[in-house]
Amino acid sequence: MIGTDRYAADREALIRQIEAQFRETARYTALPELDERVREALRSVPRHLFVPAHERDVAYADVPLPIGRGQTISQPYIVALMSSLLDITPGDRVLEIGTGCGYQAAVLAALGAEVYSLEIIAELAERSARLLAELDYDEVTVAHGDGHAGWPEHAPYQGIVVTAAAPEPPPALLEQLAAGGRLVIPVGPRAGGQMLRCIRRRADGGYSERDVLPVAFVPFTRDRDQPGPACA
Ligand code: SAH
């Protein structure tokens, strides 16, 4: 049903653009092509339902969009890149920090992951939990909380993705990675100079890391519930 909605052509055009972006950024990312499974996941998720109603017609532009409360829904190419770096196998347990409106969580679920997602702004957590349930993403569990401590109850995770930039990867997230698991996180200052980093936990318990691409994310915050307009 989703594949034939009125946005299906926009979604296809977006996928073409993301494929072009993968080619253009290959010298940084070492990923010259959009993974087939990630492409199918992007094709299956109705992004227009995750953006505020007045932004539906630009939902498939390859740009981040404001969702209220000073937050954004990430650029689709970045969602595709982070999803590819996680290298998900169906059935993997994945922790997301920064649910926002839930789009990345839906893409991870479409890849077959069992997703646990934490959002520090209560209103966004409630809204995305409701939307994901309405759309039958039963594999996603959203909770309101500060991601600095991770979510130990469901650890270890085969993948952890952080969708806000931290000065350094929080130690709790490194600890909650399974052997062979990957943490994908933008690292760097609040404004400018951030790098998307991919950290892999080796079988011996140590970590290998690679800086993948310069990026610009909203900050990983500890301030709860600043006043502001709501999303959707
Ligand atoms: N994953 C979203 C992107 C949301 S933007 C997508 O699919 O587009 C990043 C989100 O991280 C914001 O909603 C912000 O409120 C949240 N965030 C920032 N710091 C956080 C923290 N310490 N714990 C949990 N969420 C946090």
> How many angstroms is it from 204 CA to the middle of ligand 1?
31
Rounded to an integer, the average pLDDT of 205-218 is 94
Verify whether ligand 1 is closer than 6 Å to residue 74 (CB atom).
yes
Is the CB–ligand 1 distance for residue 121 below 6 Å? yes
Mind listing the pLDDT tens digit for each residue in 48-66?
999 999 999 999 999 999 9
Residue 31 lies in a domain: yes
In a domain? residue 220: no
Collect all residues with Cβ–Cβ distance below 8 Å to 209 and sequence separation of at least 6: 197, 198, 199, 200
- Per-residue pLDDT at 2: 53
Please give the number of the atom of ligand 1 that sits closest to the Cα of 73: 8
Q: Is 157 near ligand 1, meaning CB less than 6 Å away?
A: no
Among 60, 119, 185, say which to mutate for ligand 1: greatest number of ligand atoms within 8 Å of CB.
119
As for how many domains the chain has, the answer is 1
Quick one: CA dihedral 55, 58, 60, 63, positive or negative?
Answer: negative
Please tell me the residue having the least CA distance from ligand 1 atom 2: 100
Specify if 229 maps to a domain. Answer: no
Cα-to-centroid distance, 109 and ligand 1 (Å) = 17
Residue range of the domain that includes 91: 8-215
What residue's CA is closest to ligand 1, atom 10? Answer: 98
d(CA 114, CA 232): 25
Which is the closest atom of ligand 1 to the Cα of 96? 1
E strand or H helix at 13:
helix 8-29
The answer as to whether 24 is a domain residue is yes
**pLDDT band of 230, cuts 50, 70, 90:** very low
pLDDT, tens digit, 9 for 90 and up, residues 53-110: 999 999 999 999 998 888 899 999 999 999 999 999 999 999 999 999 999 999 999 9
Residues 55-69 as b or e (16 or more Cβ within 10 Å = b)? bbeebbebebbebbb
The predicted model scores a pTM of 0.94
* Residue from 111, 120, 187 whose mutation best tests the ligand 1 pocket (most atoms within 8 A of CB): 120
Catalytic residues: 74
CATH number at residue 201: 3.40.50.150
